C-alpha cells in the first residue's frame, strides 16, 4: 500500500564520480569557490509593480467563499470570472420570508474587469447561477458559454454568446449536445487554433469539439489519460498535454500531437520541462511555464525550455509566487497573475504583477549569498525579501528551489531525489554548492566536517541560542555522531496511532513486542492495514539507514542477522495480495465550513478509475489495531484520537532497537563548510528561531511544530480554540442534519499535554541515503516473492551499496 499525504514527493538516479573524501583524521581540504559573488550593473533585472485584484465586498456580511475561477487578458484589460458567497442568516425562515428573501445579495457570479494596475472597472456580466465560462476567440473577441434549459428546467444544451467590449451580445451560437455523452456541467471552453470550439465538463476530461456552426464533431480523448490545458499550434502542428487518470499512483505529463480533423490523440512523449500543468499559459509565440524559480518558454518540438526570467532578478516577494501564471508580451515586458492561498481556503487573494526589464541592475556592487533547497517555504521567502530590502545588508540572497530546477528532472520523476542528492554531493566537492542548504536533513552522505558545518558550535557560541527555550531533544535527535549538521526550524512526528482497546505498546517497542501484541488481537482485527512490503520495509528498517553504512571507512553491512530479521518481520506483516488495483488515502480533508481545520472525509472520495480506500477507516472501524500517521499539529492528533474513539496511543515504528517516535524536520538548514559566508549564514538561520519567525512558519495545515517552547504553547492554545469553534459549528450542523461529507473531532482536555510529552520523548530522527535506498527497493522483491533467499538479496545489496559509498 502506498500512503499518500499532502507532501512533497521527489526523485532521482545516482551520479557516479571518482572524487573520494579524505579520512576524518586528515587535514580538512579547502575547495575553490566557483560561484559568482558580485552583482554587476549589466546583470539582468526586472522592475516590478504589484496590485491586488480586489472585488467590491458587502462589508455588512461575512464571506463564506470567494474566488476567481479563471483569469485572462483582453488587451490592457484583465477579465476575471468570480464567485462570491456570503454566510446565510441563522434565523429560521417562514414560507413568507423565504419567498421575499433577497437571495441575490448572498450569492453572486460574474466576470469582473480590472486595469493592469488592479483598478476594478466594473462587471462585464453578473448572475446567480453557475460560474461563468468565458474565453477569447481567435480574433480576440470575448465569448461566454451559457446553459440552455428546457421547460422542466433540465439541461438541454449550451450556447456561446459573443460579446463586444461593453458586454453587448453580437452573436449567439447554439451548441449541439453529443448523443453519446451526458453533460450537465462545463468546466472550460476554448477556441482551437483552426477555429473549432472545444468544451470540457471537468478538469482533464475529453474535449468535445464543435465546428464554427455549433455542430458536434468528435471528442479529443486520450483514454487512460486526461487532456489538460489548451490545444495549441506550433510549426503547423497541433499539440496538447495529458496527465494520467490515476495520478495518485504515478504522475507524469505527456505531450501529444492532435489531429484536429478527426480528434485523434497520437502517442505522447514525456514533457520533462513541465512539472505543473495548471501553471501553463499559451501565447501566440509559444507555451510559457511559471514556477517559484522563474518563467520559461517551452518548445514542444525540441522539448527544451529557455529561461525568460529568474525571480532573483526582481524585488518581488516570493510569497506571491507559489501559484503564478505569466502572460509575457515579449521578453522585456511580462504580466503575471499570482494567487495567495488563505489559511481557511475561502478568501484567497489575487494580484497582477507587472514586470519590465531595467536598463541597469540597481543592486550592482552587492555580494551574493546563495540558498538552495527542496520546497522552500513562504516563511523562508518572506525573510529573504526583508533581508534583501534592508539597505544595511551588503549581501543579497539568491534562492533556488530544486523542486523546480530541471537539472535533475522534475518532481514527477521517480528518481529525482537520488539525482538531486548526488548532484549536491558533487557541487559541494567542486565548490559550486549554495552557502545554505534547505531541507536536506537526513541525507547523511553530507554529514561530515568536510562538507557541512557543525551547527552546535554556533548554537552554543557567543551569538547562539538558549537551549532551555527550545525542544533541545529535537536538536539532539538530528545529530550525527554528536554533531548537528542540519538545524530543524520546524518539525513533525512519525509513528503509528494505535487503538488502546486492542494493544498497549510502549512508545519505543521492538519486533518482539509487536509479535506479542499481534498474537493477542481478537478475531476480525489485524495489526495494520494492507501495505506493500517495500513500503513497510522503509518503516521497519529503523530511523537510521547509515547504521548499515560506514562512510568514513567505506564499508557496508546490510548482509547481517539484523537485516535478515527485518526482512522476516516485513514479510510476516506485509500484504500478500497485489494492491496495485486500488489507491490508499488516509481520508482527511481541510474544510472551509469548519474553520479550515483537517476533518475526516466521509463523502466517499471518487477520483480516477481505481477504488480509493481510506485507511483511516481501519482504525475507526477496529479492523486494524493501528495505522501509520504523522503529527504536524494538535488538529491531527485530536483527529487520530477521534478515529480511535479516544483510546489512541501514539507510538514509534517497531524496530530491532526500539527507536521510538521519530522526528522529521518540516524545514531545516545547513551551512556548507567551504562557504565564505558561514557567519552570515548563521545569522540567517538564527533569525528563524525568533518567536515571530517560529509562529509564522508553523501556521497552516503542514506548517509543523515549532522548536520554541513559548510558541508551542501559544500555538496549542490558539489551535484548540479554532478546533473548539469548528466542533461547535459541526455539532450545530449535525443537529440540523446538515453535516454532510465530514466528521469533526474535538480537541479534548489533556491532549496538549499528551502531545508535549510525545515530543519530549523523541530521541531519534530519520536518516537515509536515496541512492542506496533505491538499490534496496530494487533488490528486496526477490526475497518477498520467494525467488531468492534473504542472504542472496542482502549480498547483492552489499555489493551495489559498497560501490555507491566508495564513490562518495
User: Around Cβ 128, how many Cβ atoms within 10 Å?
Assistant: 12
What's the mean per-residue pLDDT of the chain? 87
Averaged pLDDT, 210-220: 93
* Residue 572 φ/ψ, nearest 5 degrees: -70, -40
Give the residue carrying C-alpha cell 559498497. Answer: 802
Per-residue burial over 630-655, b if 16 or more Cβ lie within 10 Å, else e, is bbbbbbbbbbbbbbbeeebbbbbbbb
User: pLDDT value at position 75?
Assistant: 80
Beta bridge partners of 97: none
Q: Interhelix angle for 770-779 vs 790-807, to 10°? A: 160
Q: Is the pLDDT of residue 606 over 80?
A: no
pLDDT value at residue 244? 86
Q: Could you give the CA distance from residue 564 to residue 543 in angstroms, rounded to a whole number? A: 17
pLDDT tens digits, one per residue of 420-443: 988 998 899 899 999 999 999 988
Note the pLDDT of residue 273. Answer: 78
Strands 487-499 and 705-706: antiparallel
pLDDT computed for residue 247 by the predictor: 64
What integer pLDDT is reported at residue 6 of this predicted model? 26
Question: According to the model, what pLDDT value does residue 498 have?
Answer: 98
Mean pLDDT of 182-204: 84
Give residue 408's pLDDT. 62
- Give 21's pLDDT tier (boundaries 50, 70, 90): very low
Q: Is the pLDDT of residue 416 over 80?
A: yes
261 contacts 193 by C-beta, under 8 angstroms: no
Q: What is the pLDDT of residue 182?
A: 67
Q: Residue 327 to residues 282, 289, 295: CA-CA distances in angstroms?
A: 8, 10, 10
Report domain extents, the chain.
10-42+361-490+666-706, 54-91+101-131, 493-665+738-807
10: pLDDT confidence band, cut at 50, 70 and 90?
very low
Q: What is the pLDDT of residue 26?
A: 34
Spell out where 16-118 has E strands.
Answer: 46-52, 63-74, 77-86, 107-114
More confident site: 602 or 465: 465
475-510 tens-digit pLDDT: 999 999 999 999 999 999 999 999 999 999 999 999
Residue 751 to residue 608: CA distance in whole angstroms: 37
Q: Residue 703: its pLDDT value, please?
A: 87
Tell me if 133 sits within 8 A of 174, measured CB to CB: no
- The whole-angstrom separation of Cα 552 and Cα 449 is 11
User: What is the grid cell recorded at 471?
Assistant: 525542544
Tens of pLDDT, residue by residue over 314-337, are: 999 988 888 889 988 888 999 999
- pLDDT-derived band at 617 (thresholds 50, 70, 90) equals very high
C-alpha span between 599 and 639 (Å, rounded): 7
8 Å CB contact between 540 and 784: no
pLDDT of 7 over the 70 cut: no
What is the spatial distance between Cα 539 and Cα 654, in angstroms, rounded to a whole number?
8
10-42+361-490+666-706 and 493-665+738-807 have identical folds: yes
Q: Which of 1-5, 71-75, 448-452 has the highest mean pLDDT?
A: 448-452
- Mean pLDDT calculated for residue range 46-72: 90
- The most confident of the ranges 7-21, 230-244, 439-453, 746-760 is 746-760
Could you identify the residue written with the cell 453535516?
739
Q: What are phi and psi of 448, to 5 degrees?
A: -155, 165
CA–CA separation, 294 and 321 (whole Å): 9
Q: Which of 13-27, 53-67, 114-128 has the highest mean pLDDT?
A: 53-67
Using alpha carbons, select from 468, 267, 291, 495 the residue that is nearest to residue 375: 291
Coil, strand, or helix at residue 458?
Answer: helix
DSSP 756-774: HHHHHT--EE-BB-HHHHH
Closest by CA position to 761, among listed 511, 542, 474: 474
- Predicted local distance difference test score (pLDDT) of residue 249: 60
User: Mean pLDDT over residues 538-556, rounded?
Assistant: 86
State the average pLDDT over residues 126-141.
74
Residue 14 above 70 pLDDT? no
pLDDT of 546: 76
**What is the SS3 assignment for 219?**
strand
pLDDT of 407 higher than 80? no
pLDDT at 607: 64
User: What percent of the chain shows pLDDT beyond 90?
Assistant: 55
| DSSP secondary structure of 535-583 | HHHHHHT-SBGGGGEETTTTEE--SSHHHHHHHHHHHHHS-SS--TTSE
On the question of pLDDT at 17 being above 50, the answer is no
Distance CA 190, CA 205 (A): 13
- Fold classification of 10-42+361-490+666-706 is D-Maltodextrin-Binding Protein; domain 2 (3.40.190)
Task: Identify the band that residue 700 occupies on the pLDDT scale cut at 50, 70 and 90.
Answer: low
pLDDT at 701: 64
Q: How far apart are CA 701 and CA 342, in angstroms?
A: 11
Distances (CA, A) of 85 to 92, 347, 595, 730: 19, 10, 16, 20
Say how far apart CA 690 and CA 70 lie, in whole Å: 39
168 CB burial (10 A radius; 0-12, 13-18, 19+) = exposed
Q: Is the pLDDT of residue 67 over 80?
A: yes
User: Using CA atoms, how far apart are residues 671 and 677, in angstroms rounded to an integer?
Assistant: 9
pLDDT at residue 248, as a whole number = 61
| pLDDT score at 445 | 86
The predicted-structure confidence for 633-646, as pLDDT tens digits, reads as follows 999 999 999 999 99
**Separation of alpha carbons 74 and 167, rounded Å:** 13
Work out the number of other CB atoms within 10 angstroms of the CB of residue 18: 6
pTM exceeds cut of 0.75: yes
pLDDT band at 23 (very low <50, low <70, confident <90, very high): very low
C-alpha closest to that of 121 among 130, 129, 112: 112
Please measure the distance between the N-terminal and C-terminal CA atoms of the chain and give it in whole angstroms. 33
Q: For residue 358, what pLDDT is reported? A: 97
Instruction: Please state which of the ranges 214-228, 339-353, 521-535 shows the lowest mean pLDDT.
Output: 339-353
Q: What is the pLDDT of residue 775?
A: 95
Q: List, for residues 583-593, the tens digit of each pLDDT value.
A: 888 888 888 78
Indicate if the pLDDT at residue 129 is higher than 60: no
Classified by CATH at the fold level, domain 493-665+738-807 comes out as: D-Maltodextrin-Binding Protein; domain 2 (3.40.190)
Amino acid at each position: 500500500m502506498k500512503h499518500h499525504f499532502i507532501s512533497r514527493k521527489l526523485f532521482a538516479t545516482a551520479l557516479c564520480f571518482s572524487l573520494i573524501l579524505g579520512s576524518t583524521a586528515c587535514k580538512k581540504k579547502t575547495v575553490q569557490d566557483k560561484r559568482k559573488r558580485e552583482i554587476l550593473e549589466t546583470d539582468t533585472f526586472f522592475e516590478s509593480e504589484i496590485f491586488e485584484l480586489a472585488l467590491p465586498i458587502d462589508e455588512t456580511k461575512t464571506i463564506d467563499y470567494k474566488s476567481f475561477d479563471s483569469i485572462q487578458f483582453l488587451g490592457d484589460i484583465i477579465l476575471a470570472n468570480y464567485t462570491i458567497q456570503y454566510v446565510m442568516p441563522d434565523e429560521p425562515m417562514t414560507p413568507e420570508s423565504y419567498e421575499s428573501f433577497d437571495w441575490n445579495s448572498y450569492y453572486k457570479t460574474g466576470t469582473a474587469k480590472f486595469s493592469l494596475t488592479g483598478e476594478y472597472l466594473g462587471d462585464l456580466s453578473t448572475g446567480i447561477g453557475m460560474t461563468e465560462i468565458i474565453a477569447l476567440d481567435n480574433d480576440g473577441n470575448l465569448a461566454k458559454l451559457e446553459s440552455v434549459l428546457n421547460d422542466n428546467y433540465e439541461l438541454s444544451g449550451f450556447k456561446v454568446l459573443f460579446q463586444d467590449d461593453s458586454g453587448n451580445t453580437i452573436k449567439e451560437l447554439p451548441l449541439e449536445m453529443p448523443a453519446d455523452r451526458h453533460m450537465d456541467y462545463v468546466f472550460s471552453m476554448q477556441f482551437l487554433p483552426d477555429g473549432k470550439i472545444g468544451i470540457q465538463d471537468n478538469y482533464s476530461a475529453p474535449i468535445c469539439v464543435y465546428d464554427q456552426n455549433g455542430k458536434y464533431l468528435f471528442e479529443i480523448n486520450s483514454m487512460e489519460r486526461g487532456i489538460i490545458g489548451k490545444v495549441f499550434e506550433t510549426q503547423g502542428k497541433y499539440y496538447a498535454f495529458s496527465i494520467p487518470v490515476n495520478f495518485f499512483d504515478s504522475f507524469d505529463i505527456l505531450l501529444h500531437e492532435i489531429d484536429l480533423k478527426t480528434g485523434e490523440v497520437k502517442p505522447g512523449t514525456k514533457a520533462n520541462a513541465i512539472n505543473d500543468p495548471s501553471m501553463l499559459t499559451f501565447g501566440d509565440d509559444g507555451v510559457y511555464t511559471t514556477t517559484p524559480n522563474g518563467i520559461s518558454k517551452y518548445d514542444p518540438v525540441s522539448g527544451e525550455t529557455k529561461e525568460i526570467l529568474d525571480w532573483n532578478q526582481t524585488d518581488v516577494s516570493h510569497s506571491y509566487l507559489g501559484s503564478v501564471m505569466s502572460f509575457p508580451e515579449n521578453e522585456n515586458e511580462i504580466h503575471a497573475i499570482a494567487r495567495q492561498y488563505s489559511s481557511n481556503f475561502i478568501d484567497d487573494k489575487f494580484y497582477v504583477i507587472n514586470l519590465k526589464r531595467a536598463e541597469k541592475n540597481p543592486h550592482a556592487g552587492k555580494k551574493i549569498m546563495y540558498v538552495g533547497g527542496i520546497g522552500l517555504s513562504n516563511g523562508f521567502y518572506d525573510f529573504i525579501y526583508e533581508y534583501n530590502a534592508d539597505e544595511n545588508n551588503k549581501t543579497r540572497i539568491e534562492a533556488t528551489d530544486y523542486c523546480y530546477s530541471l537539472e535533475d528532472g522534475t518532481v514527477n520523476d521517480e528518481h529525482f531525489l537520488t539525482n538531486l542528492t548526488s548532484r549536491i554531493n558533487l557541487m559541494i566537492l567542486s565548490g559550486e554548492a549554495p552557502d545554505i542548504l534547505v531541507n536536506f536533513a537526513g541525507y547523511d552522505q553530507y554529514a561530515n566536517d568536510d562538507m557541512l558545518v557543525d551547527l552546535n558550535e554556533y548554537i552554543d557560541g557567543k551569538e547562539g541560542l538558549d537551549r532551555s527555550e527550545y525542544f533541545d531533544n529535537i536538536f539532539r535527535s538530528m545529530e550525527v555522531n554528536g554533531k548537528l549538521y542540519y538545524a530543524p526550524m520546524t518539525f513533525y512526528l512519525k509513528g503509528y496511532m494505535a487503538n488502546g482497546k486492542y494493544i498497549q505498546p510502549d512508545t519505543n517497542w521492538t519486533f518482539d513486542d509487536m509479535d506479542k501484541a499481534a498474537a493477542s488481537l481478537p478475531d476480525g482485527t489485524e495489526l495494520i492495514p494492507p501495505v506493500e512490503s517495500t513500503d513497510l520495509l522503509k518503516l521497519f528498517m529503523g530511523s537510521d539507514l547509515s547504521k548499515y553504512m560506514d562512510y568514513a571507512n567505506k564499508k557496508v553491512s546490510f548482509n547481517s542477522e539484523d537485516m535478515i530479521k527485518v526482512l522476516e518481520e516485513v514479510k510476516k506483516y506485509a500484504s500478500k495480495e497485489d494492491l496495485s488495483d486500488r489507491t490508499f488515502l488516509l481520508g482527511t480533508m481541510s474544510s472551509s465550513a469548519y474553520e479550515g481545520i483537517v476533518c475526516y472525509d466521509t463523502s466517499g472520495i471518487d477520483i480516477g478509475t481505481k477504488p480509493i480506500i481510506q485507511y483511516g477507516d481501519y482504525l475507526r472501524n477496529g479492523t486494524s489495531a493501528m495505522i501509520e500517521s504523522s503529527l504536524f499539529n494538535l488538529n491531527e492528533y485530536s483527529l487520530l484520537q477521534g478515529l480511535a474513539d479516544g483510546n489512541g496511543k501514539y507510538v514509534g515504528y517497531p524496530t530491532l532497537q526500539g527507536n521510538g517516535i521519530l522526528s522529521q524536520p518540516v524545514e531545516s538548514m545547513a551551512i556548507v563548510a567551504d562557504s565564505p559566508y558561514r557567519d552570515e549564514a548563521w545569522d540567517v538561520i538564527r533569525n528563524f528561531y525568533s518567536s515571530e519567525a517560529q509562529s509564522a512558519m508553523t501556521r497552516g495545515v503542514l506548517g509543523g511544530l515549532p522548536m520554541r517552547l513559548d510558541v508551542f504553547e501559544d500555538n496549542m492554545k490558539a489551535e484548540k480554540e479554532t478546533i473548539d469553534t469548528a466542533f461547535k459549528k459541526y455539532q450545530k450542523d449535525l443537529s440540523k442534519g446538515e453535516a454532510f461529507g465530514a466528521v469533526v473531532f474535538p480537541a479534548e482536555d489533556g491532549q496538549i499535554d499528551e502531545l508535549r510529552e510525545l515530543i519530549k520523548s523523541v530521541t531519534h530522527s530519520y536518516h537515509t541515503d536515496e541512492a542506496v535506498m533505491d538499490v534496496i527497493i530494487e533488490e528486496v522483491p526477490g526475497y518477498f516473492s520467494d525467488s531468492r533467499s534473504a542472504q542472496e538479496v542482502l549480498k547483492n545489496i552489499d555489493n551495489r551499496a559498497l560501490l555507491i559509498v566508495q564513490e562518495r
